[in-house]
Amino acid sequence: MRELYPPIEPHDAGHLDVGEGQRIYWEISGNPAGAPVVFVHGGPGGGTGPAQRRYFDPDKYRIILFDQRGCGRSTPHIADGADLTVNTTDRLVADMEKLREHVGVDRWLVFGGSWGSTLSLVYAQAHRERVTGLILRGIFLLRRSEIDWYYNGGAGHIFPEQWDRFLAPVPESERVGDLVEAYHRLLRSDDRAVATDAAIAWSSWEAATSYLLPRPDQIEENEDPRFALAFAGIENHYFRNSGFLEKNQLLADAHLLAGIPGVIVQGRYDVVCPATSAWELHKAWPDATLTIVDDAGHSAAEPGIIHHLVEATDRFASPPES
């Protein structure tokens, strides 16, 4: 089984002013002359961390990480009252283009999982000439059926004890409607304690359901109030707005990916983003190979997911000779 590459530190980092009062954090590690790759984090609102540099051979890749608007080390942070009205998918795509130009990259490999797969697909469909390939994990097409499955009861049949924790902040009278809307009200409460409790419950739900086997340490990390406020607040904002996408947009526009090589890695028992979406994307985008990992859930940190993602980055770093 392949494992992550050893820990490395960035050799360059900064904040890029992308307008509207937003400054996104970026960093570069690995080989300054290597093949450029950009890591598109999940959530939205999850931010990046040191482990995410380790999916790539540091001798062969110029590894670019960035935190999307409102989270991680980008400013202003949602926990500090950042304006969500300027946080939309088209703006994030524009931010990626500004970052690409800022770091002096003509074309790059795009790597993303979960919401990161969503944003990567939108970016590639809009800027295909800037993409050398796509490596995607835990496919999320941001359709209403996916939102309802995960936030309106479907996944709760598999994790009933965690579902009760997710429901706990919601008044009983609001549990029969759309829980995304119920959480929207709670997360926007003027009472900071109410908003924080809701954010922790929302973030803990995802951490508790992302692994084939429980990871209490990940739940604890997601319960950090500052992280949870960004993670839950930005996710809820995007999900109640259908990701600012047209209905079924990513599959309808899959033809725009023709000619772009891709790898899709999907956990068989992914409850957060069930494998149906990966299968449908694969059928619509035959240039991509699909690997379904039979002993994995959603997280990029599952051993089988790591193995196939690192294999994919190694293949892209060393393309076959013509």
**Phi (first) and psi of residue 102, to 5 degrees:** -65, -40
Pairing of strands 61-66, 22-30: antiparallel
308 has catalytic annotation: no
294 has catalytic annotation: no
Contact 302, 273 (CB under 8 A): no
- Which of 114, 117, 120, 204 is catalytic? The answer is 114
How many Å separate Cα 278 from the centre of its chain? 15
173 has catalytic annotation: no
Distance, CA of 120 to CA of 112 (rounded, Å): 6
- Which of 57, 67, 197, 270 is catalytic? The answer is 270
Q: What token pair was written down for 176? A: 């029969």
Distance, CA of 226 to CA of 215 (rounded, Å): 20
Distance set, CA 59 to CA 5, 189, 198, 311 (Å): 10, 48, 43, 15
Contact 240, 181 (CB under 8 A): yes
- Which of 74, 298, 299, 308 is catalytic? The answer is 298
Residue with tokens 């409607």: 177
Distance set, CA 70 to CA 43, 215, 230, 241 (Å): 12, 26, 7, 17
Contact 204, 223 (CB under 8 A): yes
Contact 113, 137 (CB under 8 A): yes
Q: Considering only CA atoms, which of 170, 168, 133 is closest in space to residue 314? A: 133
- Going through the chain in order, the beta strands assigned E by DSSP cover 12-19, 22-30, 35-40, 61-66, 108-113, 131-137, 262-267, 288-293
Distance set, CA 58 to CA 27, 63, 160, 182, 313 (Å): 14, 8, 42, 44, 11
The residues annotated with a catalytic role in the active site are 114, 270, 298
